[in-house]
Chain A
Amino acid sequence: MPDDDELVAEVLRGSQAAMEVLVRRHYREVHAFLCRRLGDQQVAYDITQEVFAKVLTSLSAYRGPGKFANWVFVIAANRCRDFIRAAEAARGHLSPSRVPDDLRDDTADVWDLFERRLREDRVQTALQALPDAQREAILLSYFHGYRMREIAEITGVVESTVKSRIRQGLAKLRHELQRREDTPREQDA
């Protein structure tokens, strides 16, 4: 199977098939990142489309080798920041939306689904309490396997800033999760 750089060369020569393989290879990671970052499936889909459109129109500016995935994430992270800024300016804040029920596995036990939804809500709400930069760094690190140095490249800051963001983010997140876990117990008591 050709690697990303070979596919990029083919796309630049006009290959639709190479573009398709390249997008199929990376859309899942990008879409999942945007979903978690923006908390909205539909918005994530629209931004995924914009990200890949930007990737294709600026493909000649890509400087490999072997950094295509990082390059796509740089574009995704930038586009995401632009969107969040615009949305915050327009609405004050972004509210996390629910994943539509029809996308769920309906064969699972209802109670399991309910519990799962509660756990996901807890994580999402706790993450929403973090500043955007900290949330972004933690998502890239945990869900996409990027190391600090790569996150620094993607987000355009120095590595020590990423470390600081993750450190502070983890501390806040742990605190938020702990708080949300304790609150219902206190109410029960």
Chain B
Amino acid sequence: MNRTHNPHSRDHLAEWTSRIVDELLGQSDNLDDSAHAQDAVHEADVDENDARIVAEALLEWDVPPMTESALEELLGALRPLVPASLDEFRFASAGGVHRSFWCDAKHTVQRVPLTYWVTSGVSYMAALFFAAAGGIHAYSALFLVGPIPALLGVREVFRGREQGMAELELTCTRSGTQVLFSKMSLLALFSLGMNTVLSLLASELFGLEMWRAIACGLAPWAALSGTGLWIATRTRSGPVIVALLVSWLGGGGALIATSWLGKCLLSLSPLAYAGLALIGLALVCFFAVALHGSKGVEWIVDGDR
């Protein structure tokens, strides 16, 4: 369907006249019917001139659009017919901040694409696999893979702003930044939890020091999440986050290839790990709070073409 046409323009008249004749003669779509159509056109004696005469007359026939108040009335009548699966969410604000946060979070889980969860899980599994196979040092694997889900999460948070109609719906009851904040918190908790589980698993499997294994994942997680948020709030661009992730993997991979990183990580003092993690956490908190306190997101709602 050509929805960009204007039936009251001369261009449309000319376009329709030639199209209708082509279609009646069977030149455009259905070649099997062409012989039949040609016979029929001849029989009914319809040519381009006839189509033009009719089109000239139709060109004049305009109908006034529905008024805005009539449209509002129509929408009001249709609202009760929308499936009610978000009702729980819509009225959740009555239950207080905590309840609405978990409602947002629950909704977020449904909105984050499956590829995010799968990619994050696969990256952790791959790290364990390469460490077990002896390809890389276990500490290096934890260090390298730690920030991946967090960076992918930052990308998801900002991507959701561009295309989530559900977010638009949520903004009816609370601000868009609250929705972003809840999404970001959920993804941060997920990546942090997965990091910790991976570190504990690795320390068990490969006999690593537990605190060092946890710190190995936590420090780059915090540093890269903070950097990612900083970049995202300024550039508002998903590809930049992907570029950061690729740079991290490329740079980290190159360091691991020289086996320098593993030795370095082993020799770092607990204070250095804690310092790195604290700087990263401070960055995360700073940008999260800045984002939460901002004026929010502007949504374009223009259904009219």
| Contact between chains at B82 and A15 (CB < 8 Å) | yes
User: If the complex has contacts A6-B165, A16-B82, A31-B65, are A24 and B16 also in contact, measured as CB distance less than 8 A?
Assistant: no
Minimum C-beta distance from A6 to chain B (A): 7
Quick one: closest A residue to B29, CB to CB? A149
Q: Which of B16, B24, B75, B166 contacts A15 (CB 8 A)?
A: B166
Minimum C-beta distance from A25 to chain B (A): 4
| Contact between chains at B63 and A36 (CB < 8 Å) | yes
Give the contacts of A141-184 with B (CB-CB under 8 A).
141-150, 159-160, 163-164, 166-168, 170-171, 173-174, 177-178
| Chain A CB within 8 A of B20 CB | yes
Range class of the A interface residue count: 35 or more
| Contact between chains at A160 and B36 (CB < 8 Å) | yes
Give the contacts of A78-130 with B (CB-CB under 8 A).
99, 103-104, 116, 119-120, 122-124, 126
Give the contacts of B59-97 with A (CB-CB under 8 A).
60-67, 70-71, 74-75, 77-79, 81-87, 89
Q: Which of B29, B70, B89, B172 contacts A159 (CB 8 A)?
A: B29
Quick one: closest B residue to A154, CB to CB? B1
Q: Which of B28, B169, B303 contacts A22 (CB 8 A)?
A: B303
Report the Cα distance A173→B86, complex, angstroms. Answer: 51
| Contact between chains at B7 and A171 (CB < 8 Å) | no
Report the Cα distance A185→B305, complex, angstroms. Answer: 42
Report the Cα distance A168→B45, complex, angstroms. Answer: 9
Report the Cα distance A103→B70, complex, angstroms. Answer: 13
User: If the complex has contacts A1-B302, A32-B65, A119-B60, are A17 and B172 also in contact, measured as CB distance less than 8 A?
Assistant: yes
User: If the complex has contacts A23-B74, A23-B303, A145-B2, are A13 and B86 also in contact, measured as CB distance less than 8 A?
Assistant: yes
| Contact between chains at B33 and A104 (CB < 8 Å) | no
Q: Which of B2, B45, B61, B169 contacts A18 (CB 8 A)?
A: B169
| Contact between chains at A52 and B79 (CB < 8 Å) | no
| Chain B CB within 8 A of A76 CB | no
| Chain B CB within 8 A of A187 CB | no
| Contact between chains at A17 and B44 (CB < 8 Å) | no
> In the complex, what residues of B have CB within 8 A of residue A70's CB?
1
A16-B86, A29-B3, A170-B46 known, 4 other contacts, Cβ within 8 Å:
A6-B165, A13-B83, A145-B2, A173-B54
Q: Give 23 CB contacts A-B under 8 Å.
A: A12-B83, A13-B86, A13-B110, A19-B82, A24-B71, A25-B304, A28-B66, A31-B66, A41-B64, A45-B66, A49-B78, A53-B81, A138-B54, A138-B58, A145-B7, A148-B23, A159-B29, A159-B30, A160-B33, A160-B37, A170-B51, A171-B50, A177-B53
Closest 9 CB pairs of A and B: A24-B303, A14-B86, A145-B2, A14-B85, A56-B81, A35-B63, A103-B64, A10-B165, A21-B303
B interface list, Cβ under 8 A from A: 1-3, 5, 7, 16, 19-20, 23-24, 26, 28-30, 33, 36-37, 40-41, 44-46, 50-51, 53-55, 57-58, 60-67, 70-71, 74-75, 77-79, 81-87, 89, 110, 163, 165-166, 168-169, 172, 300-305
A interface list, Cβ under 8 A from B: 1-2, 6-7, 10-25, 27-29, 31-32, 35-36, 41, 45, 48-49, 52-53, 56-57, 59, 69-70, 99, 103-104, 116, 119-120, 122-124, 126, 138, 141-150, 159-160, 163-164, 166-168, 170-171, 173-174, 177-178
